[in-house]
Structure 1
Amino acid sequence: MFIKLLTAIVQEKFSDIHLHEGELPRWRTGGGDIEVIPGAEPITERDFDTILQHSVSEEDRGADLRVQERLLKYGGDIDLAATFGDTRFRVSMYWHGDRKLGASMRKVEKNIPKLETLGLPDYILKIIDRRNGIIFVTGETNSGKSTTLAAFVDFFAQRRVHIITAENPVEFLHQSRESGALISQREVGAGKDAESFDRALRAALREDPDIILVGEIRDRETAEVALTAADTGHLVLCSLHTRSGPSTIERLINLFPAEKQDAILSQLAGAFVLCLSQTLIKSVEGNSRVLAYEVMTNTPSIAANIQKNKIRQLVQDIESARGDGEMCTLNYTLSRLVREGKITAESARRAAYDPSNLHV
């Protein structure tokens, strides 16, 4: 039975588990490869139902929950958080291959890491130490965005503030601090705490927040409310599936119709604080992954080029400010990691979004 296997391996070093009905389960190892889990048996439909059962509250666990019924009700995929013992997983269940069941389970580490331990530059702490504005943490899937955002929240939790999060699902569990922050975590989704991110954000603005975390900006409505919140005295933390600072600005602008883009560019130029774009790369040893990142902050030149919609100019702005210790491109970080012997040149080239300008 898969649950017994999960209990046995939960302390091993892996980030994700992938399940396909009738097939052997696989996991993403510490080095980032997908491999069959040793000693596993093929996954059954009942295994999926059991995982679903672990996503509900204790008093509801006796219910006869069926994944097929849930998928039929919610359009073929569902997102949830499931707990096994004291370990949480972010779970996405779905249909594939003529309605066979599939699931991806992301392990959520119990202890929230301190920002200083993530491998980010020291100046990040100074950049994010703000009362208002908007901060983006971006990257492809499985790039550590959720962990970095959780570390940001933990950093701000030392303040006497009200932090509201909107997540789908809630991953890291944050506790309010008697001498620090009051933390309200809201889960987004059908039948959850809020139906959508934009509704959760609109409600949050009426709930006296100081800091708002948006699990992901997916649409124009959410982007609009997030920018308004940042523009009206709140600090907003959010994530996007973009690979660089410039592409993040471009993605946001393209969410809006042409007639609104000038106003949004002006608003963004004033509210923007930081875009931290990150990726995880297999180490030279092959048994772990190394964080690589790009940092773009809001210098006068960056703000001016955002307002004028000169997105291509932003890369040059980042390059020019690198010597001041304020920003760096992903290529700069990749080159440094190769020189330090932490990653290979081949891995660096695969990770670069602009490999033609990568010097390794």
Structure 2
Amino acid sequence: MGTVLIDKLLQAVVNFKASDLHLTVGQQPTLRLHGHMKQLNTKVLEPADTVGLMKSITPERCQQELQEVGGTDFGFAFGDQARFRVAVFKQRGNVGLVLRRIPNEFLTFEQLGLPTVITDLIQRPRGLILVTGPTGSGKTTSLASMINWLNNNLDRHIITIEDPIEYYHKHNKSLVNQREIGVDVPDFPEAIRRALRMDPDIILVGEMRDLATIQAAITAAETGHIVFGTLHTNSAEGTVNRIIDVFPKEQQDQIRTQLSVAIIGILAQTLLPRKPKGLIAAYEMLVVTPAVANLIRENKTYRIDSMIQTGRKYGMILMDDSLYNLWRQGLVDEHEIIFKARKPNELRQRIENAKKGIFEEEPEEQDQEDVNSKRR
């Protein structure tokens, strides 16, 4: 019964183009569709159902992990229609599952609405590019799109380190080796160290979640590789602070210096319900100019926002400006914009003014060095 059911459920996810499928005891199978939860018209799941569904798709080693630590993650293909990233967990003593659909096709930068400067950044010979945002904000999709662009346009050796592998990349102009944590290599720091001996040009680090991984990623970026990484932070400024805060106090000055040299860009993103249906992303983009690198080195990250504001000619944009633009274009409801804003009161005021026909002056395009010298 489990297998028949799982195929039907997965087919429903694909047909509806839902982002997730939730399976939990005492509830009908539920889809997340355009950001909203929608119950499927089937029976309410009982404990035996979720166990059967789990066993029909979960590899043996993951079932073992579920027993030992109460949860496990893995990826699997649903024929050639889609891939799924699966989280299996226990709740109230029962088994629950959440399956995230990973589309088979890659989206272009234009389709994703990515800042145009991304194309330049990813072609640099070295440096750290971070894609950040909360869970489910589309980081994986943006990164997959970048790797796909590189694979289609440049001849490089690309190594991805993922937990689990989500998008599968075929070798095209580039050679792409994808390593899965727990299957191909034990952990992220070890995988990055090994990768450096494999003649890479580009290394994708699926998650920079601890000191050892962050340290290894920064080192790899300094030594002549492009390194992509992700963090669960909401802004460019927050990302820089988060990385530095991971290190013990006595190492922080050294890390600031290393980071200021290694980092070349931060893309923070969030997903919103698009009108009338679908999802759309808002972005914050920090391009690390010499002036920004100075701020990082001198522990003046609180000035990063104003740098982004005056750095439009470098391709930078603040999250709240991106949200405001989506509202101006009529793509997203006002309450959704305010909900995701970093400074909701200021953005609410700006929207009220715009409704009355009062628009703010665009910030002056000053040279960033001038801006700095005036503030000193």
Q: What TM-score do the two structures reach when normalised by structure 1?
A: 0.90
Equivalent positions of 1:1-360 (< 5 A) are 2-9=5-12, 10-30=14-34, 32-42=35-45, 44-56=47-59, 65=60, 69-73=64-68, 75-86=69-80, 87-97=82-92, 99-157=93-151, 158-177=153-172, 180-189=173-182, 192-285=183-276, 287-322=277-312, 324-358=313-347, 359-360=350-351
Measured against aligned partners, the alpha-carbon deviations of 1:73-101 in whole angstroms (never above 9, x if no partner) come to 3x11111012222221001111122x221
Q: How far is the alpha carbon of 1:357 from its aligned partner?
A: 2.7
Measured against aligned partners, the alpha-carbon deviations of 1:295-322 in whole angstroms (never above 9, x if no partner) come to 0010122111101111211111111112
Pair 216,69 (structure 1): closer, same or farther in 2 beyond 3 Å: closer
Pair 36,66 (structure 1): closer, same or farther in 2 beyond 3 Å: farther
Letter in 2 for 1:227: I
Q: How far is the alpha carbon of 1:22 from its aligned partner?
A: 3.7
**Which structure shows the bigger proportion of residues in helix conformation?**
2
Measured against aligned partners, the alpha-carbon deviations of 1:149-185 in whole angstroms (never above 9, x if no partner) come to 00111111132211101101000000112xx111110
Q: How far is the alpha carbon of 1:354 from its aligned partner?
A: 2.0
Measured against aligned partners, the alpha-carbon deviations of 1:71-130 in whole angstroms (never above 9, x if no partner) come to 123x11111012222221001111122x22112111010111222321113232123221
Is the contact between residue 268 and residue 283 of structure 2 (CA under 8 Å) also seen in structure 1? yes
The farther-off stretch of 203-212 and 220-229 is 203-212
Q: Give 3-state SS (helix, strand or coil) of 2:72's partner.
A: strand
Q: How far is the alpha carbon of 1:290 from its aligned partner?
A: 1.2
Q: Give 3-state SS (helix, strand or coil) of 2:311's partner.
A: helix
Q: Give 3-state SS (helix, strand or coil) of 1:14's partner.
A: coil
Distance in 2, Cα, partners of 1:194 & 1:8? 32
Q: What TM-score do the two structures reach when normalised by structure 2?
A: 0.87
Pair 236,43 (structure 1): closer, same or farther in 2 beyond 3 Å: farther
Give ranges in structure 2 of 5+ residues lacking alignment: 352-376
Pair 80,273 (structure 1): closer, same or farther in 2 beyond 3 Å: same
Q: How far is the alpha carbon of 1:272 from its aligned partner?
A: 0.9
Distance in 2, Cα, partners of 1:196 & 1:128? 25
Structure 2 counterpart of 1:60: none
Q: How far is the alpha carbon of 1:69 from its aligned partner?
A: 4.4
Aligned-residue CA RMSD (Å): 1.8
Q: Give 3-state SS (helix, strand or coil) of 2:339's partner.
A: helix
Structure 1 counterpart of 2:367: none
Give ranges in structure 1 of 5+ residues lacking alignment: 57-64
Letter in 2 for 1:308: E
Letter in 2 for 1:253: I
Letter in 1 for 2:166: E
Distance in 1, Cα, partners of 2:214 & 2:55? 31
Q: Give 3-state SS (helix, strand or coil) of 1:184's partner.
A: strand
Q: Sequence identity, in percent?
A: 37
Asked which structure has the greater CA Rg, the reply is 2
Letter in 1 for 2:143: L
Pair 289,133 (structure 1): closer, same or farther in 2 beyond 3 Å: same
Q: How far is the alpha carbon of 1:236 from its aligned partner?
A: 0.1
Q: How far is the alpha carbon of 1:33 from its aligned partner?
A: 0.9
Is the contact between residue 62 and residue 73 of structure 2 (CA under 8 Å) also seen in structure 1? no
